[in-house]
Structure 1
Amino acid sequence: MADPLGIMGVIGVVAQIIQLGVQFGLDWNDAPADTKSFIAELEVLSLVLSEMKKKMIDDPESREAFEGSSSHSPTTTTTASTSTPDKEEEASPEETDTSVLVSASSSTMTELLGAFLAKRTRDAVENLHRRCQALNSMAIIDTAAIGARTYNKVNQMYIRQQQSSEQAEKKNDQLIKIQRKAALMRKLYTSAYRDRKDRNPRRVKGTCEWFTHHPLFQTWKDNKSSCLLRVSADPGCGKSVLAKYLVDEVLRSSTHERRTTCYFFFKDDFVDQRTSESCMCCILRQIFTQRPKFLSEEILTKFEEDGDQLIGSFRGLWDILIDIINTVNQDMSVDDGGVSTTGHSPAGGEIICVLDALDECEDRGQRQFAEALRNSNFGRTAQNNRIALKFLLTSRPYTQIQRDFGFFNTVIPAIHLDGEGEVEVGKISKEINVVIESKIKDLTSRLQLLPEEQQTLKDEMNRIPHRTYLWVHLIFEIIQDSVDITKESLRLTIRNLPTTIEAVYDKILGKTRNPSKAKKILHIVVAAERPLVLKEMAVALAIKENHRGHNDLELEPETRFRSTLREICGLFVTVIDSKIYLLHQTAKEFLVQETTPDSDSVVVDNEETGFLLRWKKSLQVTESHRILAEICMWRLLWDDVAVKNNSFHVATTAADSDSSKIGTDDHILLDYSAQNWVTHFHNAQIDDDDDGTMASMASRLCDQDPTTPLSWFKRHWNRRRLNERMIYPTGLNSLIIASFCGLECVVVKLLAVESTGGIVDRLINSRDDRYKGTPLAWAAEYGHEGVVRLLIARRNKIDVDSENSQRRTPLSFAAEHGHEVVLKMLLDTDKVDADAKSNHGRSPLSYAAAGGHERIVEMLLLDTRQRVDPDAKDSGNRTPLFWAAWYGMIGVVNMLLLLENHRIDVDRADDCGRTPLLAAARNGREEVIKSLLNTRRVDVNHQDSKGRTPLWHATRRKHVGIVQLLRLSGGV
């Protein structure tokens, strides 16, 4: 007979197994029907037996009742029943003798034990016992299977989780990199280069073809190595139209031909269009846009590490361009998004850079381009490079440009658009005739010219020698405005037309019906920091000093104002995408006079006897800026909700400040005024004007309550801050704002206030809440010489060596930004520490060396009043030589190396184990490497803290020239 407690134990184990299976998600659907029936009842049975087990342990009589005597045993009962099956079938367990149960236990156990006294129940329990034993064996096997399956499932879940985590991390890294790249692309967007290209008209079909078929152009175009082509021409000969045609059609970027075409159109009109740094930023941006793979992690990191200093460095930007070419030509793994033909090396291709009107680039920038191209050995590069860098430059044939590029004469071809022989002159003349025919056709459709009138016009135009595209364009403007159109009148009109561009300009402006308004428009156009849109120009012309809001203005609708502008200025100004430009660079040259003219003078054109050019040099630069400064200040002094509540758009990049983003009507001209009024004020050379009106308005604009920031100044700050990481300071006062802006007339008024109660004493040494900068510190940092002079004149009251929150002094800021006059004024006070250290342990010499300010370095080293340590270490053990080597400031490097008595350690390592040689090798500073090697005092095998040598860094970053120098040094 089975042990009752054993049976109960088996049932308990089975119950636990079943529960374990449920926990692990075991599917019992495939189990036999009996098993599923058993499992369904098991929970209740387990509970009942548990109670019974407890009762039997606690009450021996209950145990005896279950085990019983022979008369009451289940076996005996079963036997008896077997002989009379029918009667037994009718009987139930409850109908058996219960007298023993009543005497054995309580009423609760009576029913329970009675079940076990019955034969059927005893058989059921025995059967249950056997099934439990079988199930127990099966459960042991299933438990192992469950464990294996569970492990596999958990392992699969873990692998999926790891993969999901890795994918999420990869996506996050990709997102971060995309954000980093986007931030860099915004930085590089220093000029709306596409808009500036498209302001030039499209070529007339049939023109520019003599150039594209020219043998020199064809040779340059088909060249597979890096090369340069120069194009020169006099004003009005179509250089910019040609450049636009080449970029848009002839040399357009092509994936099939693996050509990447970049461009920059220099214009003297606006600051962002006349610097070499802005040009290089736009060129790199176009390369990275068209070939994203060229923007490597190394380049991205370099921009992030060097920040604004790299954005403002032509040399640094040029080095990146050359590094891109070297990397593609040397690195077998770089690809630009196309399919590699070898499996490793990138397919061939070319990067073409079209630079138009180089003569309108600043003189310094012209020299930088000439030197960079010379050092890059254009025309002498290898033929088997994977990618070529090709430049096409257009300019006027100015003497200085000829000198700068004189070294190319024997190597680099040049094409002159005015022709260099009868054949070419004839081709150009034919193309000008094509333009004339196109103009005649257009004029015929407008004025309904008769055939004989068309022929007369054509014959008379062809009679005139030395025609240019610009002259033809202007002449047809005059003809179109003629009232009497007959064959004879056309002949007389053309024969009386001026034959020079200047005379044509004067004739166009001489026909205006509103000379004073035309002059004001031209003043605004020539002095504007960026092109104004029609709405802004309308407000600028309508605004008066007594206006206090947009509702005070009387404005024409924009569509009508466009026509009014044309009627007043004729073809002299042009409107493209609602932006207003002068027709041509020669128009500005005709109008603007840099020096103060005799107000009663009339200029006589020597080439056009009898033509009095009343408009020539009629605009004085200072007057143009005065007009715009006045307009901007009137606008900012409106009772404007946007101004008071800081609600107008605050741009942070050149792209954000685009003239198309002017907001609602209430905001028109507001953003431009906030950003540029100070610039116009300075250029107007306003000190303390006759009636004091301008100075008074400037004082009102600087009247600052420290608890309420001026919205215009916040806008001005965001555009003028020298470091983009700088956050707008709080706790400003009027003197700090005036000093930051360099407004001398305002500073004079503030300092003239009676010092009762020490007001001036507190004001002159006041500090902002964020950077703790004094008025002198802000003025010194921005190089405002006049303000610095006014402030240090208060010798007994001002702290000229005050430290800000980073322990930076005014002298330190002047040294960092290369302000020589300011530095000299501060040194001359004899109250400054020329070797003062910042929080990072950097001295003024350290900052000047990093910025490449050779004159500042010289002034600090040669100042006899106090000794400056040329080898001073900052908190990272970096010396001035290290910083100069890091940024490639070769002039400063040579100055420091030439110091007597070897006053500097040329091989000192910083905290990361980097020496000046290693820093120069890492960043590709080839000229610096040469100078350091020439000292014979450097270890070319020095290892940084990670065991990397200068050769390792140069090889890693593909600085081929440096690798060769290091290997030739003999020490590697």
Structure 2
Amino acid sequence: MGDPFGIIGVIGVAAQVIQMTVQVGLDWKDAPSDARAFLLELRTLQTVLQETNKNITQNPDFVKAFEDRHSTILSQLGDPSKETAARSLLSAAEVELKNRVKDLTKRSQSGRVSWETLKGAFTAKKTRDAVENLNRQCQALNSMAAIDAIALGASTHSKVLETQKAVEEVQQHQLNQVKNTEEKLILEWLTPIDYAPQQVDFIKRRQSGTGQWLLDHPDFRDWLQGDKGTLFCPGIPGAGKTILTAVVVEHLTNQFHNDSNVGIAYIYCNFRRTDEQKLEDLLASLLRQLTESQISLPRPVTELHERHKKKRTRPSADELSKALQETCASFSRSFIIVDALDECQAAQRSSLVKEAINLGARRGVNLFMTSRLIPEITDKLDRSCWLEIRASKEDVERYLEDHIQQSSSAIQKMQGEIKTAISDAVDGMFLLAQIYFDSLKSETRPKKIRAILKGLGTQIADSGEKQRLELLIKAYDDAMQRITEEPRSRDLGIQVLSWITCAKRPLTTTELQYALTVEPGDLELNEEDLLEVNDMVAVCAGLVTVDEEGDIIRLVHYTTQEYLQRTQGKWFPNAEKDISTICVTYLSFSQFETGACATNDEFEERLQNNPLYDYAARNWGHHARQASISSKDAICLLQTPSLREASSQALLIAKRSWHWAYSQQFPRYRTSLHVVAYFGMVAAVAELIAAGAIVNAKDGDDSTPLHLASWNGHATVVQLLIEAAAMVNAWNKDEKTPLHLASSSGYYTVAQLLLKGGAKVNSFGDYNRRPLHHASRNGHDAIVQLLIEAGADINAEDRAERTPLHLASWNGHATVVQLLIVAGATSVGCEDKRGITPLHYASQKGHNAVVQLLIAAGANVNDKDHDDSTPLHDAAASGYCTIVQKLIATGATVDASDIFKWTSLHFASRNGHDAIVQLLIKAGATVDAKNKDEKTPLYYASLKGHDTIVQKLIEAGATVDTKDKYESKP
């Protein structure tokens, strides 16, 4: 690098001056003091200039550091073509020092050289001036460097702060990602069931403007504008209730999409989805949807997850219900939409209606429900909140207009006739309009079209549901007749309908494609033969549709399913056998000969690559049982251990497992007899027993075939196994006998057979529970009675010292509680290990009928558990107003306190239960009661923002400025 700064020249000249004294042989120690001072100063200045040169002139990083900012040094010395004060001083010093070199050279050549000879060169005024100027310049350079350092430091600090901020943002982003991942896992744990794809599909089917009459109806507007209440919309089958429900969901979503204080959740009940629409599933789905709309997971959900994740258990319906209510309370408004209550399983329907009504009664919660007119549902609902759903003539005509435009020119020319004829014939039954139009849409001759229109069934206005269903059945008959009259597509149409009708769960389009491609005896599948989805739909005369978002192929309506199930013997009598044969053929393909997969990844890859694998493995035996198939029809699958193991893996692993090796969590070593006993295949069981199968063989869980048959309720198989000397009291790894399993699952006939076969009624099982514990916990009253009559110990205690009465009370099984009390249960006031009585459990869970039964049987309403909590504490904390009333009326001590000095009023105030606070105040509760922290109910009500309760407490005389032990006030 050159000398852009003018420093190198000065350094060189200064070095020459200093070296001259050495070259002439003078000793530094002999130098006069003034000469020595001069040279020392010059040497110091040289060092300063050298360091400046090294750290600036020869340091490209310095120049680069100031590329985008001002530098004091660079402004003075940076540009060689620019004359500055600093450069002038350096130049002057260099010139004068050069003169001193000349002078020293001249003096050193004049005879004998001494310090005295050279002294004049060092003390000359110009020399002194030059060195002083050089000194000042070095000081100036130091000052400039200091200024630059400060500026650079400040800039660096700014950049450090920026970098630190960026790092913090990255860290926060990473933390948010981790949090989001954790929250997603929790939501998936809660339930993987998603109704959004169905919502999208339903809205896609809606013609523009459909359902506007409902949104404009005064009853709907009143419901929408109110802050609580229920709107029940009954309708005949096929009236279009589901589409209108989707319209309501879309309307609410659009109206409140920017309002985070409004929660919206919806479920579409479907009679084909029984495996994922138990009460717990439905409540979990509502809870998940409300949770997803919040910035972070609400406390009730995280607490629920924490409570169950370590034990790998699932939350109960009561826990989910409570969490759902608390989550609803966190919104200013919540809309809960439930479609097709009538399609919910009969065993779950009553509980779902109860839960829905309880939600709809809460302030800030609006409930919208649809259903057929079923007394089990309608008897529980106030008629003042009803709004009947019918397909309006305008909606039917919109549908017809849209589909006519996609049809033949003959259909389009007759648009007016078709619209009038069909809309008059259906009278509010949308489904019928779809089927009627499908019957003529492919016709091209006006004469034929008019003949079809003339033959349509005509409804009488306001006719009853029975008459409407008769017309629907006739329409289905006509559709099936059209299918069977098409020789080229008849077989495929029947196959499609038989699979969809008889499948044990809804099928994806891919599953059905593969199912229809497999033929009996195939050794592998040729994917070139896979049918197009449109072809499968086209041959079914409008009875089949595809939910594109969910990729589900299904019948157009549940009445279609009911019709085909009822007429199965006419249209496809061998469907169960045919489906079973296809499933067995598929499971016998060579790709499954390697047996069970060793890892999760391998298993998931197998599922991905073999679309029919999951369905076939889980359901082939159910179809075989219904078709009374013998073991010979599944001989390859049953007698090949690797194939048996591969199918068992898909059959038995839990679909909702978060275990790191979930694919290995299934029992190995199941024999052929285990398999057919599990599915209840009577003929196959008899054949294998006759052929010498080991009746008491144990699988990897120590379960025998009798365990599996008892667990699944296959009474005839149980009888066959008992007659073949099966051990009725054998324990599996969970320490359960077959009687434990039958009692827990509710299979009365099986339990009866086992008892007759010698099963011990008081056999200890897991957790020291006996069969009566299991039957009582799950509410199987008939089995409870059977076990009592067989000599069951009604007061037996499990490991937690809970009796059957404890478990029945906890789960709200009033009939079982009554049976146990009548049978002489002495445990009405019995305490478990934590001092909790049956009345505590019933009060905590909100089971009114059980509470009344226990009190009538002599339960003490003031019993305390080991935390000194009473049933009143539990009911008040959980928000069960009717139970609080009952307990107070029976003599419960209103001001009873637990070990932390909490009263019932503390709990009710903290948890926001307005009505209970009012009840407790009216009953004489002390409004200024203090707990161990000296906090009052008013403190907790204020802390939680329950303004109404705060007002009630103050009106009742609560002290506003009272302090707790930490000097905090409400």
**SS of structure 1 residue aligned to 2:774:** helix
- How much does 1:875 deviate? 1.8
Say which of 867, 872, 876 aligns to 1:921. Answer: 876
State how far apart, in whole Å, the 1-side matches of 2:795 and 2:902 are: 33
1:299/1:561 Cα in 2 relative to 1: closer, same or farther (>3 Å)? closer
Which amino acid is 1:833 matched to? D
Tell me, yes or no, if the aligned pair for 2:835 and 2:864 is still in contact at 8 Å: yes
Say which of 751, 764, 781 aligns to 1:820. Answer: 781
Which residue does 2:369 correspond to in 1? 393
Tell me, yes or no, if the aligned pair for 1:238 and 1:469 is still in contact at 8 Å: yes
Say which of 892, 901, 906 aligns to 2:861. Answer: 906
Deviations 1:423-468, CA, capped at 9 Å, x for gaps: xxxxx3234333322222222xxx3459755566556657757364
State how far apart, in whole Å, the 1-side matches of 2:212 and 2:279 are: 30
Which residue does 2:554 correspond to in 1? 581
1:264/1:765 Cα in 2 relative to 1: closer, same or farther (>3 Å)? same
**SS of structure 2 residue aligned to 1:351:** strand
Give 1:323-722 correspondences, 5 Å limit. 323-326=326-329, 349-363=332-346, 367-368=350-351, 371=354, 378=361, 388-398=364-374, 400-405=376-381, 407-409=382-384, 412=385, 414-417=387-390, 428-443=392-407, 447-449=408-410, 452-454=413-415, 457=418, 466=427, 468-482=429-443, 485-499=444-458, 500-512=471-483, 513=486, 515=490, 518-541=493-516, 543=518, 551=524, 553=525, 557-558=529-530, 560-577=531-548, 578-593=551-566, 632=583, 635-636=586-587, 641=592, 644-646=595-597, 663-665=607-609, 667-676=610-619, 684=626, 689=628, 712=648, 715-716=651-652, 718=654
State how far apart, in whole Å, the 1-side matches of 2:866 and 2:169 are: 36
Which amino acid is 1:790 matched to? L
Give 1:164-175 correspondences, 5 Å limit. none
Say which of 692, 699, 702 aligns to 1:732. Answer: 702
**SS of structure 2 residue aligned to 1:264:** strand
Which residue does 1:934 correspond to in 2? 889
Which residue does 1:191 correspond to in 2? 193
Which amino acid is 1:821 matched to? A
Say which of 742, 747, 765 aligns to 1:779. Answer: 742
State how far apart, in whole Å, the 2-side matches of 1:921 and 1:306 are: 24
Tell me, yes or no, if the aligned pair for 1:357 and 1:394 is still in contact at 8 Å: yes
State how far apart, in whole Å, the 2-side matches of 1:804 and 1:172 are: 48
- How much does 1:956 deviate? 2.0
**SS of structure 2 residue aligned to 1:644:** coil
State how far apart, in whole Å, the 2-side matches of 1:776 and 1:847 are: 18
Tell me, yes or no, if the aligned pair for 1:453 and 1:486 is still in contact at 8 Å: no
Which residue does 2:138 correspond to in 1? none
Which residue does 1:282 correspond to in 2? 285
Deviations 1:209-254, CA, capped at 9 Å, x for gaps: 2332223323333x14213323333233322222212222464363
Which residue does 1:809 correspond to in 2? 770
**SS of structure 2 residue aligned to 1:834:** coil
**SS of structure 2 residue aligned to 1:570:** coil
**SS of structure 1 residue aligned to 2:334:** strand
Tell me, yes or no, if the aligned pair for 1:252 and 1:261 is still in contact at 8 Å: no
Which residue does 1:850 correspond to in 2? 810
Deviations 1:467-503, CA, capped at 9 Å, x for gaps: 6433332233222322xx2444433343344554333
Give 1:827-846 correspondences, 5 Å limit. 827-830=788-791, 832-846=792-806
State how far apart, in whole Å, the 2-side matches of 1:530 and 1:780 are: 27
- How much does 1:531 deviate? 1.5
Which residue does 2:753 correspond to in 1? 790
Deviations 1:256-307, CA, capped at 9 Å, x for gaps: 34543322122222215765543332222111111245x5324532565489
**SS of structure 2 residue aligned to 1:718:** coil
- How much does 1:375 deviate? 5.6
1:474/1:709 Cα in 2 relative to 1: closer, same or farther (>3 Å)? closer
Give 1:170-181 correspondences, 5 Å limit. 181=183
Tell me, yes or no, if the aligned pair for 1:842 and 1:873 is still in contact at 8 Å: yes
Tell me, yes or no, if the aligned pair for 1:190 and 1:278 is still in contact at 8 Å: no
1:541/1:710 Cα in 2 relative to 1: closer, same or farther (>3 Å)? closer
Larger RCO, structures 1/2 (Cα 8 Å, 6+ apart): 1
1:651/1:914 Cα in 2 relative to 1: closer, same or farther (>3 Å)? farther
- How much does 1:327 deviate? 5.1
- How much does 1:898 deviate? 0.6
State how far apart, in whole Å, the 1-side matches of 2:169 and 2:768 are: 45
1:202/1:691 Cα in 2 relative to 1: closer, same or farther (>3 Å)? closer
**SS of structure 2 residue aligned to 1:945:** coil
**SS of structure 2 residue aligned to 1:860:** helix
- How much does 1:582 deviate? 0.4
Which amino acid is 2:812 matched to? G
1:213/1:857 Cα in 2 relative to 1: closer, same or farther (>3 Å)? closer
Tell me, yes or no, if the aligned pair for 1:704 and 1:710 is still in contact at 8 Å: yes
Tell me, yes or no, if the aligned pair for 1:739 and 1:778 is still in contact at 8 Å: yes
Aligned-residue sequence identity (percent) comes to: 22
Which residue does 2:6 correspond to in 1? none
- How much does 1:853 deviate? 1.7
**SS of structure 1 residue aligned to 2:767:** coil
Tell me, yes or no, if the aligned pair for 2:238 and 2:431 is still in contact at 8 Å: yes
- How much does 1:897 deviate? 0.9
- How much does 1:572 deviate? 0.8
Tell me, yes or no, if the aligned pair for 1:651 and 1:718 is still in contact at 8 Å: no
State how far apart, in whole Å, the 1-side matches of 2:760 and 2:195 are: 46
Tell me, yes or no, if the aligned pair for 1:943 and 1:950 is still in contact at 8 Å: yes
What residue ranges of structure 1 are gaps of 5+ in the alignment? 1-31, 37-85, 90-165, 329-348, 419-427, 600-614
Deviations 1:755-803, CA, capped at 9 Å, x for gaps: 6xxxx45xx433334x2333333333223334433333332xx444332
Deviations 1:331-376, CA, capped at 9 Å, x for gaps: xxxxxxxxxxxxxxxxxx5322222223323456554465556666
State how far apart, in whole Å, the 2-side matches of 1:919 and 1:679 are: 45
> Bigger shift: 167-176 or 246-255?
167-176
Q: TM-score, normalised by structure 1?
A: 0.63
Give 1:10-409 correspondences, 5 Å limit. 181-182=183-184, 184-189=186-191, 191-200=193-202, 201-221=204-224, 223-249=225-251, 251-252=253-254, 254-258=256-260, 259-272=262-275, 275-292=278-295, 295-298=297-300, 300-302=302-304, 304-305=306-307, 311-313=315-317, 317-326=320-329, 349-363=332-346, 367-368=350-351, 371=354, 378=361, 388-398=364-374, 400-405=376-381, 407-409=382-384
Which residue does 1:66 correspond to in 2? none
- How much does 1:532 deviate? 0.9
Tell me, yes or no, if the aligned pair for 1:591 and 1:619 is still in contact at 8 Å: no
Match status 1:765 vs 2:729: yes
State how far apart, in whole Å, the 1-side matches of 2:865 and 2:594 are: 49
**SS of structure 2 residue aligned to 1:230:** strand
State how far apart, in whole Å, the 1-side matches of 2:575 and 2:811 are: 34
1:964/1:587 Cα in 2 relative to 1: closer, same or farther (>3 Å)? same
- How much does 1:715 deviate? 4.2
Which amino acid is 2:247 matched to? Y
Say which of 804, 828, 834 aligns to 1:870. Answer: 828
**SS of structure 2 residue aligned to 1:580:** strand
Tell me, yes or no, if the aligned pair for 2:207 and 2:399 is still in contact at 8 Å: yes
Which amino acid is 2:916 matched to? I
State how far apart, in whole Å, the 2-side matches of 1:480 and 1:868 are: 72
Tell me, yes or no, if the aligned pair for 1:918 and 1:950 is still in contact at 8 Å: yes
Count of residue pairs the alignment pairs up: 712
What residue ranges of structure 2 are gaps of 5+ in the alignment? 1-42, 48-111, 116-167, 459-470, 668-699, 927-970
